[in-house]
Amino acid sequence: MQNSKAIFLRNFTIILFVFIQSFNCQANTLGLQKADSLFNTNNYQEAMTVYENLLQNDEVFSPAMLLKMAYISEGKGDFSNASFYLAKYYDINPNPRVITKIKTLTEQQNLVGYELTDWDRFFKFTSDLQQEITLVFLGFLLISIILLLIFKQKAGKPKYYIPSLILILLVFVSNNFLKQSSTGIVTGSPTIIMDKPTAGGKLIKNVDPGHRVIIKSSKDIWYEIEWGKQKAFVKKESITKL
């Protein structure tokens, strides 16, 4: 009887959790649809309020939403935020035309951090599918373990365990390393890039807003970033995370 109650409570909890998640997702989607409707009827300020709330709470949003937010910000003369939304869009959908627009908004033609190599594009593609790739490796791992258990009498030699060990390694790598680094956009004007996280460090460059950087780590009031091919440091107040 106790086991029956425990099973019932467990199943009820799972169903309730799935229901709540589904409800929240539906509510967020409705919020996005409402904002899009306001945008299409030229109620830009009301639409922007909903968009900002969705983005701030890290809820459902689309690349198209970021473009609309950039459009509204540019119309208000807020070129800094317009550049931020475009840079965030670029993180999702690297498009050369976006770089051109950011250059126009920031009035800079030599922006750093938007160059993507073939390897960068491939890594982005695989990192976007991280969960799916990990699940595939995990599925093969479970199959290999099941086969070992079924044929344990015939699979007594160490060589039969090699595929399972390789799959364990692939699952570990996919789950822990197949992630894109955090990125940010320079918003401070001007922003000082140093070679050490201290005011006594050597000045690398003095830049204006618009540059995109890869954030490697955080230390006190500093971000460690990649600038070109060297390690550098920037005060957190000068960077807005994408």
pLDDT at residue 1 greater than cutoff 60: no
Predicted confidence at residue 2, as pLDDT, reads 46
Q: Which of 85-94, 144-153, 183-192, 215-224 bottoms out in mean pLDDT, i.e. has the lowest?
A: 144-153
User: Rounded CA gap, 130 and 128, in Å?
Assistant: 6
Mean pLDDT for the stretch of residues 99-113: 86
**Of all residues in the chain, what percent carry a pLDDT higher than 90?**
8
Predicted confidence at residue 59, as pLDDT, reads 54
pLDDT at residue 15 greater than cutoff 60: no
Peptide bond before residue 190 is cis, with ω within 30 degrees of 0: yes
User: Rounded CA gap, 130 and 109, in Å?
Assistant: 34
Residue 102 sits at the vertex; the CA angle it makes with 98 and 103, to the nearest 5 degrees, is 115
pLDDT at residue 126 greater than cutoff 60: yes
Place 28 in a pLDDT band, splitting at 50, 70 and 90.
low
Q: In terms of Cα–Cα distance, which of 164, 181, 192, 168 is closest to 217?
A: 181
Predicted confidence at residue 58, as pLDDT, reads 63
Place 23 in a pLDDT band, splitting at 50, 70 and 90.
very low
Tens digit of each residue's pLDDT (9 = 90 or more) over 33-48: 888 888 899 899 998 9
User: Rounded CA gap, 191 and 178, in Å?
Assistant: 31
User: Rounded CA gap, 24 and 128, in Å?
Assistant: 23
Question: Mean of the per-residue pLDDT values for the chain?
Answer: 80
Mean pLDDT for the stretch of residues 214-240: 87
User: Rounded CA gap, 69 and 71, in Å?
Assistant: 5
Going from N- to C-terminal start, the domains of the chain cover: 2-106, 119-177, 182-241
Mean pLDDT for the stretch of residues 134-163: 81
Predicted confidence at residue 34, as pLDDT, reads 85
Place 70 in a pLDDT band, splitting at 50, 70 and 90.
very high
Contact predicate 120/212, CB 8 Å: no
pLDDT higher for 28 or 129?
129
- What's the pTM? 0.67
**Of all residues in the chain, what percent carry a pLDDT higher than 70?**
86
The CATH number of the domain covering residues in 182-241: 2.30.30.40
User: Rounded CA gap, 230 and 224, in Å?
Assistant: 10
Tens digit of each residue's pLDDT (9 = 90 or more) over 169-217: 988 888 888 777 788 888 887 888 998 888 788 888 888 888 888 888 8
Tell me if the domain spanning 2-106 has CATH number 1.25.40.10: yes
Mean pLDDT for the stretch of residues 50-68: 80
